[in-house]
Structure 1
Amino acid sequence: MTTRNPALLVLEDGRTFRGESYGAPGETFGEAVFATGMTGYQETLTDPSYYQQVVVQTAPHIGNTGVNDDDPESSRVWVAGYVVRDPARRASSWRARRGLEEELAAQGIVGISGVDTRALTRHLRERGAMRVGISSSETDPEALRERVLASPPMVGADLAGAVSTTEPYVVPADGERRFTVAALDLGIKTMTPRRMAERGIEVHVLPASSSIDDVLAVRPDGLFFSNGPGDPQTADGPVQLLREALGRDIPYFGICFGNQVFGRALGFGTYKLGYGHRGINQPVQDRSTGKVEVTAHNHGFAVDAPLDRPTDTPYGPAEVSHVCLNDDVVEGLALRDGTGALKAFSVQYHPEAAAGPHDAAYLFDRFVTLMEQSAATVTSQTNTTDGDH
């Protein structure tokens, strides 16, 4: 049986938990958040949206399926720290290549086990997400708390550039190429371009610092903004890029951070949620169909837009398209033209479903339809212009 060293977890409000070191030894700081998925921990750990966050797993038993080389959502583990109650003694899956703790240690991820994660989650739910420190070297809670209070908060954090690709790359379409999409990488997950490739889309993934000229150089049929970490109020560059793209009527689809950037581009504000939505079991209603979807979430910020009426914007009327049934948080936006036709849309959750349910996969098909309609409109306008000569 593994012998573990003592470890200490201290929240910024002074609440303290003692447990055992899990993963790499050492000390780490970040924003404490809880994730409610019973499965999919490997996808959670490798999601760039969790950068500078310490993830508390609400499911008590973690690590039983180990780690494989097929499910990562990026090239590395991004969480700042990891908190579990009962780690698996050994991996038990034919797909596993190594154990979870072995992977965390190899990537230098400091964690803690043996913690009452139910009590910790309830505390965060009542008090809100807050900064936290985990240490296997410090034994004095007050000394660790001082370092927690000196660590940077999530509000005002500009993090997308730190997780974005530094060079453009292409994910080719499966089979015949039907469309080309420019995808701004604000923390993109591996599965997202794959979902588009399955639909015949060639995806050009661009750095977060890209300009409208970089986007136009791809000659895209559509523009996509990905998920990502940090405070959307810091994303002035992507907001400006999107405004220029909307002014050119380029079809747009955004998820998660891409939804918040879309909201800002339309003139809405954003705000920090008390403890956020994280996990693979969040109920969302598509207001255009009335259908309720079980969806995968990872966001601590939300768009402040009216639920009861459309809003006039410089690009056309915008409305809230999806809403969370737990707390009425805006979970999607839709932009329409003067005839009511869809021009651009976004959702606050993860339709690529890695990990998670597949209820929202239709959104990629909606993006395809949007690009089809845009191409048909351009063709019609070209034919009309040719007929005038």
Structure 2
Amino acid sequence: MALPARNHIPALLVLEDGRTFRGETFGAEGETFGEAVFSTGMSGYQETLTDPSYHRQIVVMTAPHVGNTGMNDEDPESSRIWVAGYVVRDPARVPSNWRSVRSLADDLRDQGVVGISGVDTRALTRHLRERGAMRVGISTTETDPQRLLQRVQESAQMAGANLSEAVSTAETYVVPAVGEKRFTVAAVDLGIKANTPRMMSERGIEVHVLPATATLADVQAVSPDGLFFSNGPGDPAATTGQVELLQGALRAGIPYFGICFGNQLFGRALGFGTYKLKYGHRGINQPVMDRTTGKVEVTAHNHGFAVDAPLEGSTTTEFGEATVSHVCLNDDVVEGLELRDADGRLTSFSVQYHPEAAAGPHDAAYLFDRFADLMSSVSTRSLALAARPADDAADGSN
């Protein structure tokens, strides 16, 4: 079988600081702009491309060979490719996997994603590690780096961007529980990945996925046992509506679990600040310690912002005592939060990474069990309280 001919159309990549790389087009022809970030995953490029958290980001793959396993219809994390652009060193000319139904290049081209290949991604990644994530442009139509640089510097920045509504579902939908239904969860879609409600449903949870514009009344309308906030793109400091929703849910005593963007919004709801990391965490090999168990997990990440909370001690908030539950062992970035009531009982928690991890390690899948256990314990306490005699409930005796 003859190999398909390579596309030798020249392409140009220019970073915000003027660093320039030349290569060949990979995917659609045209021009695109976004924030340049790098992903260290050796596999799972299809899940990366379809992760809504990468909206308005141009992803540089550190793995040199990309596209070997092609693309299929089972692994996407959403209905489309979300990356603003794609940078690879050596794309596969022919996919080789029994599940493949088309090539990566074909999917990029069909969905209008401008990419570039033949780039020294090692040099590009080291540049981003030294200088930090920055805006970038890729063009197959512009040959002058200075003209492309001007357009890069005029493009939108990630800081201050409120993007969750752009990637969220327009209508509520329900993912039914597998087997016997144990709980109902209201999941606010800020850029949710398909594997997240799937993993909850496998634990007997009926998941009502709500748009990013959902209100507290919308959440309460499904009579949830718990509230979940998903991952998503953008600056958490530019997001206010979801923070107010979460604060209302915490006041109402609804157990909460958040991941990634949901961790950042939880932090802001508790009164902590957030800040932009120099180059973020992206990939499926980040070491994180669960401080509640002392175990170290290999975890999947995709975040450029983090919560500014004290690593030691607890912080008194309107909703209870907040502590840092997980920390990244590479740089001490906050990777999880816990909220406990006056009696020390867990009421809500979040993590900065992706326990659904598709593709990626499964070390953190236990967090979905922790969420189910939390909802079970809160339900049990509520039933016990409801069964207490009225005079006992009034005087607060045990």
Question: What's the TM-score once normalised by structure 2's chain length?
Answer: 0.97
1:72 and 2:76 are equivalent in the alignment: yes
For 1:224-303, what aligned pairs fall within 5 Å after superposition?
224-303=228-307
Give the secondary-structure state (helix, strand or coil) at the position aligned to 2:313. Answer: coil
Residues in 2 aligned to 1:162 and 1:4: alpha-carbon distance in whole angstroms:
34
Distance in 1 of aligned mates of 2:284 and 2:254: 31
1:372 aligns with 2:373: no
Determine the structure 2 residue equivalent to 1:203: 207
Q: Distance in 2 between matches of 1:235 and 1:376?
A: 34
- SS for the counterpart of 1:292 is strand
Which structure 2 residues correspond to residues 46-85 of structure 1 after superposition, within 5 A? 46-85=50-89
- The answer to whether the Cα contact below 8 Å between 2:7 and 2:26 also exists between their aligned partners in 1 is no
**1:28 maps to 2:32:** yes
Q: Deviations over 1:89-115 (max 9, x none)?
A: 100000001000000000000000000
8 Å contact kept, 1:254–1:262: yes
Asked if structure 1 preserves the Cα contact closer than 8 Å seen for 2:40 and 2:62, the reply is yes
1:31 touches 1:53 (CA, 8 Å); kept in 2?
Answer: yes
Q: For residue 385 of structure 1, report the CA deviation from its aligned partner.
A: 4.2
Tell me the residue number matched to 2:115: 111
The 5 A counterparts of 1:341-360 are 341-360=345-364
Aligned match of 1:44 in 40, 45, 48? 48
Conserved? CA contact 2:37–2:279, under 8 Å: yes
CA contact (8 A) 2:69 2:96 kept: yes
User: Which residue of 2 is the match for residue 153 of structure 1?
Assistant: 157
Measure, in 2, the Cα distance between the counterparts of 1:370 and 1:218. 19
Letter in 2 for 1:40: G
Q: How many Å separate the matches in 2 of 1:156 and 1:222?
A: 29
Deviation at 1:387, TM superposition (A): 8.2
After TM superposition, give the deviation of residue 313 of structure 1 in Å. Answer: 0.3
| Residue 234 (structure 1) shift | 1.2
Q: Which amino acid aligns with 2:382?
A: V
User: Could you tell me how far 1:4 is from its partner in structure 2?
Assistant: 2.0
SS at 2:388's partner residue? helix
Amino acid at match of 2:9: N
Structure 2 distance, partners of 1:221, 1:290, is 29
Counterpart of 1:4 in structure 2: which amino acid?
H
Task: Please point out which of 219, 224, 227 is paired with 1:220.
Answer: 224
Alignment of 1:182-201 (within 5 A): 182-201=186-205
Give the letter for the 1:369 counterpart: D
How far has the Cα of 1:386 moved from its partner?
Answer: 6.2
Q: Residues 321-367 of structure 1, C-alpha deviation per residue, up to 9 Å, x if partnerless?
A: 00000000000000001111100000000000111100000000000
1:159-178 Cα offsets, whole Å, 9 max, x none, are 00000011100000001110
User: Which segments of 5 or more consecutive residues in structure 2 lack a partner in the other structure?
Assistant: 394-398
Residue in structure 1 matched with residue 344 of structure 2 by the alignment:
340
Matched residue of 1:331: which SS?
strand
Is the CA contact (8 Å cut-off) linking 1:260 and 1:270 kept in structure 2? Answer: yes
| 1:178 aligned to which of 179, 182, 195 | 182
State yes or no: 1:2 paired with 2:6.
Answer: yes
In the TM superposition, what is the alpha-carbon distance from 1:309 to its structure 2 partner? 1.1
How far apart are residue 3 of structure 1 and its match?
3.0
* Deviation, structure 1 residue 62: 0.1
CA-to-partner distance for each residue in 1:150-195, whole Å, 9 max, x for gaps? 0000000010000001110000000111000000000000000000
- Per-residue CA deviations over 1:363-388 (Å, capped at 9, x if unaligned) read 00000000000000110011014687
Partner of 1:141: 145
Q: Pairwise CA RMSD of aligned residues?
A: 0.9
> What is the identity, as a one-letter code, of the residue corresponding to 1:332?
G
CA distance in 1: counterparts of 2:289 and 2:323, whole angstroms: 14
Letter of the 1:169 partner, please give it.
Y
**Counterpart Cα distance in 1 of 2:281 and 2:7:** 35
Q: Counterpart of 2:83 in 1: which secondary structure?
A: coil
Identity across matched positions, percent: 72
CA distance in 2, matches of 1:125, 1:388: 60
CA distance in 2, matches of 1:322, 1:316: 18
Q: Contact 1:7 / 1:134 at 8 angstroms: preserved in 2?
A: yes
Equivalent position amino acid for 2:356 in 1: E
Matching residue's letter, 2:71: V
Give the secondary-structure state (helix, strand or coil) at the position aligned to 1:181.
strand
Q: Residue type of the partner of 2:267?
A: G
Q: Read off the aligned partner of 1:74 and give its amino acid letter.
A: S
Q: Distance in 2 between matches of 1:309 and 1:272?
A: 23
Q: Secondary structure at the match of 1:23?
A: coil
Question: Is the CA contact 1:4–1:22 (under 8 Å) kept in the aligned structure 2?
Answer: no
Does the CA-based 8 Å contact 1:64-1:88 persist in structure 2?
yes
In 2: Cα distance, 1:51 partner to 1:355 partner: 18
Q: CA deviation at 1:132?
A: 0.1
Report the alpha carbon displacement of residue 220 of structure 1 after superposing the two structures with TM: 0.1
State how far apart, in whole Å, the 2-side matches of 1:44 and 1:359 are. 19
